[in-house]
């Protein structure tokens, strides 16, 4: 006996067990003698077939499904994408000390110097304020100094964009 499994639209799963004298289709047992030489069984193209062939006297051919699941577009978090793009841009921004001092102005630069001269300021921060020549936008020091001056990230971005346009 030759058994062909044909795909049809849907989710129907076929469990097939073939033995010498019987065939079980989804738990229902049939006598091989009652089924003839060729048997076509349909299965759901979106589900599949589980077969167990117990004898060499019969052949089972599964006609493969051509079903392609629908494409599901990934969910894009536009805000997260924009934030990542901004972080990438910021990583390339850096200015010279004189550029940022010029844009900050005397009063805000004096506030930064006063903070750096405070006995509570960490030594590393004092050194950066006193000695840094190149100042990258992406740094904990810049974030801290922006916070001390009451500036938002957008304000600090604006400072850097303006400072990067200055040329000696």
- pTM check: above 0.75: no
Pairing between strand 48-53 and 13-18? parallel
CA atoms of 87 and 141, how far apart (whole Å): 16
* 148 token code pair: 């001390």
Tokens 């979106």 appear where? Answer: 46
pLDDT of residue 159: 95
pLDDT of residue 133: 94
Flag residues of the chain having pLDDT under 50. Answer: none
CA atoms of 12 and 46, how far apart (whole Å): 8
pLDDT of residue 69: 73
| 56-67 pLDDT per residue, tens | 788 888 888 787
Those residues whose C-beta lies under 8 Å from the C-beta of residue 15, and which sit 6 or more positions away, are 24, 25, 26, 27, 50
pLDDT of residue 86: 94
| Domain boundaries along the sequence of the chain | 2-62, 78-164
User: Across the chain, how many H-helices and E-strands are there?
Assistant: 6, 9
Estimate to the nearest angstrom the gap between the alpha carbon of 32 and the chain centroid.
53
Those residues whose C-beta lies under 8 Å from the C-beta of residue 145, and which sit 6 or more positions away, are 112, 115, 129
């Amino acid at each position: 006996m030759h058994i062909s499994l044909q795909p049809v639209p849907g989710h129907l799963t076929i469990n097939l067990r073939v033995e010498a004298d019987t065939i079980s289709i989804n738990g229902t047992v049939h006598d091989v003698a009652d089924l003839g030489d060729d048997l076509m069984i349909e299965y759901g193209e979106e589900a599949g077939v589980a077969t167990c062939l117990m004898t060499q006297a019969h052949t089972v051919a599964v006609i493969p499904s051509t079903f392609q699941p629908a494409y599901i577009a990934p969910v894009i978090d536009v805000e997260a994408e924009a934030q990542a793009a901004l972080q990438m841009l910021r990583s390339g921004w850096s200015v010279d000390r004189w550029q940022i001092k010029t844009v900050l102005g005397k009063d805000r630069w004096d506030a930064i110097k006063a903070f750096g001269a405070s006995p509570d300021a960490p030594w590393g921060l004092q050194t950066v304020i006193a000695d840094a020549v190149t100042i990258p936008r992406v740094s904990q020091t810049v974030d801290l100094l922006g916070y001390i001056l009451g500036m938002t990230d957008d304000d600090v971005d604006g400072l850097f964009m303006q400072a990067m346009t200055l040329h000696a």
